[in-house]
Amino acid sequence: GVDGFDLLRRIRAGAFGAPEMPVALICWTGNDALVVRAFADGADDVLVRPFSLAEVSARVQRLARRVGVPGP
């Protein structure tokens, strides 16, 4: 019963003890309003479907570097 926006708000409110945790949401092409909402609600990134695995990998690595996780 929880969608990605609810989960994002809970994370940013500190419900899981790490409000600074990087969060990326996934939306379908054509949902520009949802992409804007995701960023307004505090998402660090938004992936728009369809996407390639190479793109997902690059975005995850970028977010990991931002929080100090060593890369491959």
User: Token digits for 16?
Assistant: 């899981």
Distance CA 32, CA 61 (A): 24
Q: E strands along the chain, which residues?
A: 24-28, 45-49
Q: What is the pTM of this model?
A: 0.84
Backbone CA torsion sign across 18, 69, 65, 59? negative
The 10s digit of each residue's pLDDT in 20-66 is 989 999 998 888 999 999 999 999 999 999 999 999 999 999 999 98
Distance CA 12, CA 64 (A): 17
Distance CA 65, CA 71 (A): 7
On the question of pLDDT at 72 being above 70, the answer is no
Look up residue 23 and give its amino acid: V
**What pLDDT shows up at residue 41?**
95
